[in-house]
Amino acid sequence: MRRIRFTLSYDGSAYSGWQVQPGLSTVQGILEAALSRIEGHPVKVHGSGRTDAGVHALAQVAACDLYNPIPPANLQRALNRLLPPDIRVIALTEANLQFHPRHHALAKTYRYRIHRQPVCPPFDRLYVWQHPFPLDEARMALAAALFEGTHDFRAFTATDDRYTPDTDMRRTVFRSHLFRDGDLLIYEVRGSGFLKHMVRNLAGALIELGCGNLTEADLKQMQQTGIRHKGIRTLPPQGLFLVSVEYAPEP
């Protein structure tokens, strides 16, 4: 048996997220179907984490076990022939049998893209959230650093069946910054892991602060109390990209 590690890039527009769901088209489901055709029996794929419906990935990491002896380069070509064009395997290698893409991840980076002009080009509409209204971007950029460090992010997550009152909601954010790139305002965050909708809620909190509806003190209070401010919005999924997943070098 071999453990195969692969890196995927996908446009999430047509999918109900990463995770397999009955009756819905998902990235994990499409990938498992393609691998099962190659292997000749059902194959289970594990990802580094879930992305929600409409969220994109530049470099999602996943792994599965195969008995088929096909060389990695040939397997990559075979998979890309079977997969739809909005899902691509951009790298594929054999990994240690103990490798797990979620448990062994050291850091992940996400990027949220906000289009700031009154007219959004139609070819960008599936990959940005448009917000042409006034924002104090300088204030937002300074406030983004407030999320750095180890905090309880309970106030910045969504309800999920996986979460119980005893679930540890602490996460470590290594870097949180917001910057301009032409017509785009980009929020990028790198951390040890993320809760459901956490990045979209962090970006939403910065938007409300930029609009003048929240203060820096409000953000700090949410971190300290775990109580979500009623003004926080969860930004739409299409502006969010999983940029990278980091691991320690394999021996």
Which residues are known catalytic residues?
A: 52
Q: How far does CA 196 lie from the centroid of its chain?
A: 10
Distance CA 26, CA 59 (A): 16
What local confidence, expressed as pLDDT, does residue 180 receive? 97
Using alpha carbons only, how large is the chain's radius of gyration in Å? 19
Taking the model in full, what pTM does it have?
A: 0.95
Instruction: Read off the pLDDT band of 251 (50, 70, 90).
Output: low
Enumerate residues 6+ apart whose C-beta is below 8 A from 100.
46, 63
228 against 173, higher pLDDT: 173
Distance CA 152, CA 170 (A): 4
Q: What is the mean pLDDT of the chain?
A: 95
Q: Taking 70 as the threshold, does the pLDDT of residue 28 lie above it? A: yes
What is the tens place of the pLDDT at every residue in 214-243?
Answer: 999 999 999 888 888 887 889 999 999 999
What are residue 6's phi and psi, to 5 degrees?
-135, 155
Distance CA 41, CA 90 (A): 24
What local confidence, expressed as pLDDT, does residue 165 receive? 76
In the chain, the percentage of residues whose pLDDT exceeds 70 is 100
CA atoms within 13 A on the CB side of 229: 22
Distance CA 166, CA 69 (A): 44
- What is the average pLDDT across 139-158? 95
Following DSSP, what letter does each residue of 136-194 receive, concatenated? -HHHHHHHHGGG-EEEE-GGG----TT--TT---EEEEEEEEEEEETTEEEEEEEES--
- What is the average pLDDT across 92-109? 96
What local confidence, expressed as pLDDT, does residue 229 receive? 82
Q: Which amino acid is at 52?
A: D
Q: What DSSP element (H or E) covers 216?
A: helix 216-225
Domains defined along the chain, listed by start: 2-95 (3.30.70.580), 107-246 (3.30.70.660)
What local confidence, expressed as pLDDT, does residue 225 receive? 86
Q: Taking 80 as the threshold, does the pLDDT of residue 169 lie above it? A: yes
